[in-house]
Structure 1
């Protein structure tokens, strides 16, 4: 046992990356490694990279430096989306020994010999067309929730996005395997599962470019609702054109699916949506929000929006601002457009100056604060169910209700990973909601 090597992981980016990091970690543990926190001295550091964040390159270098400071003789491996898109760039960063692309990342153990440092970063990456098989993943780390991957890749050709270049074609896990993974998670005393993927509403496409849907997203949701031992299921980001009324109606009556939807909009201007090559117009978005409000008035609805896309005039931006201001939504995730190599948008005319992008972003972030406050106020006096998390933040424990209201109460370790029925009483200075206990559920 003394010869077991220590490995630490750092994940940049999305929930999908977290689910895959967790799976890679379990694979290495099966190969004789012990997982430790990234803050600890380890024999190997694995960094799961992201291509979406604007400062992907800068963030990566900072994480490598941190690892080298902890142990300058440690073996450093880079995997994930940025490793697929810019493998040579990552391999040239001081301290990096191994770079694995989209198809190789789950075979990390096969590429490790004796963990000796390399003079140069060794690259193993494929042509992205070869990423046509599916590897199921789920994360277990935070005791209160797990991220369950159900789909990977994307067939959409949005003009700003590199994800199809980094992850390949749309493909899905078999329904039986998703249910098996959900059942395994339920045995770990985890109360909530978040479904994740690149384009989860496209669930059902098989491997090797098979476009036939074996099952629909609705069938996936219906089957997961039957899994015993899971208290809550949450749908992560889903495209508005793929979020069907039948799914919304099923969630409204579901045993486990919570009334929380995160639906990317990207722009409230049809002209900009067409330039982005999105697969819907804003009228479709309005229909989805109205349908959710019709059957789940208390639901939380989050929105992704991009500002500063090429060709976005002041008029286009104000169209987006007013559209969102009038819409009954709960919060925004605001992204400032940044140029990405090998995307159509890079060559488009009408580049928006950086200072204008920043100003628009600030306006929408302010709108998000206003929307979240209004949503929280609408929930005061109602009874909800909260799942408490594990962190002690300045003497308080926090949790989220089923409809994603963040609540707080004085720290009590016995509350960690428990569900309680509560009454929402008032909004605190930090924006979270105070509560009174009604009954303990689980």
Structure 2
């Protein structure tokens, strides 16, 4: 067991790549080290410990992870470097071979960091400690705030879906979750700290309950009853798991916001089959219609992958036409990236990088058009905005209940406050609406 006295007055730097779930988990690691006397480095200081939480959703993500490791090793010479996260789980040997890396922890180990740090003694070669994917069973609770006003609560981890293009089930393990009673307790703690908004995060949150015999709908109802929290947002949820009862509940809930993030991935049924997704475009369209019939002003974000193997020009045009006809607010567009070991590599038809880029640009332009139209419809309306901390000298930003970004003049007193405003015109860069305090 690690002698914790050696951590007194040590300094650590944390670097996170990838999803909100990773940020929540890094925050938990930071709290663990803080409890034994480690503080976060200040600007210009040298760290004794570097913790890098990695992503591996694309080839570019792997590259960014390697670049981050090299950069931190250079900026903090002599620091004990720990690498964890999805890239570490998938390629532990490769990561351990990177110069400067001392310890590589897999998905099962990262929640028990103190067990593996030893005396922080550096060695010539990094040590990799991981567990086979099938044996990843632990659910590590995480709730982070970081520099943001919103909190991110991890409610679920892992995935049982094995879509043909995705390595996340191999990196994260099978679907598992925390107990509702424990999550409610975490939320009560957030309320006690003065937190007003919580985003529910996970890998496949609609699959919540696999390990506890509960359901995501049970969780939503339980969290809605916690006093002190003003707002909840549901992060990405699979369309086949977004039930009508959840949509109807959100529509009448005061605390769950009219804001959905639903992965589509392709608007073409043939491509969805190649991707091994668990729905078709008809089901997806029915979910959008259900939301809009109950919450006309709901913000709906949609994930789309372009250029996946098998996406012929004809299939892409079908997808584009389908997405164009959807009453959604914003598209999160990703270019398909070949991932070793995935079933998608068996599909013959390959999309060229140029075609991927062109398709991506078309969808991004469509997204801008839809988002701008959504914002424009709300100009002149009144709304409640939760203001967020901003850098000195910069305008403050916050979000309405339906996730419209609002800009106000800098005023520290407004941080984490719910402010009633009238929505004005677009700001100078077109990314927000100007708010007029009522």
Farther off after superposition, 393-402 or 100-109: 393-402
1:233, 1:33 → 2: CA distance?
A: 32
Q: Is the 8 A contact 2:206 2:238 kept in 1?
A: yes
Q: Which runs of 5+ in 1 are unaligned?
A: 207-212
Residue 189 (structure 1) aligned to one of 194, 202, 219: 194
Q: Which runs of 5+ in 2 are unaligned?
A: none
Aligned to 1:36: 41
1:391–1:398: 8 Å Cα contact kept in structure 2? yes
Give runs of aligned pairs for residues 311-390 of structure 1, distance below 5 A: 311-390=310-389
Match of 1:54 in 2: 59
Q: Does 1:238 align with 2:234?
A: no
Deviation by residue 1:94-128 (Cα, 9 ceiling, x = unmatched): 11111000111111111112222210011101111
Contact 1:251–1:257 at 8 Å: present in 2 too? yes
Q: Secondary structure at the match of 2:144?
A: coil
Q: Deviations over 1:161-194 (max 9, x none)?
A: 0010001111111010110111111122221100
Which 10-residue stretch deviates more, 226-235 or 63-72?
A: 63-72
Worse-superposed segment, 317-326 or 134-143: 134-143
Distance 2:213 2:244 in 1: 20
Shift of residue 52, structure 1, vs aligned partner: 0.8
Q: Show the counterpart of 2:174.
A: 169
Mark the CA change 1:353 to 1:38 in structure 2 (over 3 Å): closer, same or farther: farther
Deviation of the 1:261 alpha carbon = 0.1
- Which residue is 1:392 aligned to? 391
What are the within-5 Å matches in structure 2 for residues 11-30 of structure 1?
Answer: 11-30=16-35
Who is 1:437 aligned against? 437
**Deviation at residue 394 of structure 1 after TM alignment:** 5.6
Residue in structure 2 matched with residue 284 of structure 1 by the alignment: 283
**Separation (CA, whole Å) in 2 of partners of 1:81 and 1:358:** 26
> Taking structure 1 as the reference length, what is the TM-score of the superposition?
0.95
Query: Which residue in 2 is equivalent to 1:410?
Result: 409
Tell me what 1:210 maps to: none
The size of the alignment, in residue pairs, is 432
CA distance in 2, matches of 1:353, 1:35: 44
d(CA) in 2 for partners of 1:71, 1:112: 18
Q: Which residue of 2 aligns with 1:205?
A: 210
Q: Given the alignment of the two structures, is residue 96 of structure 1 paired with residue 101 of structure 2, yes or no?
A: yes
1:32, CA displacement in angstroms? 2.8
> What corresponds to 1:157 in structure 2?
162
Q: TM-score, with normalisation over the residues of structure 2? A: 0.96
Is the 2:58–2:339 contact (alpha carbons within 8 Å) kept by the matching residues of 1?
no
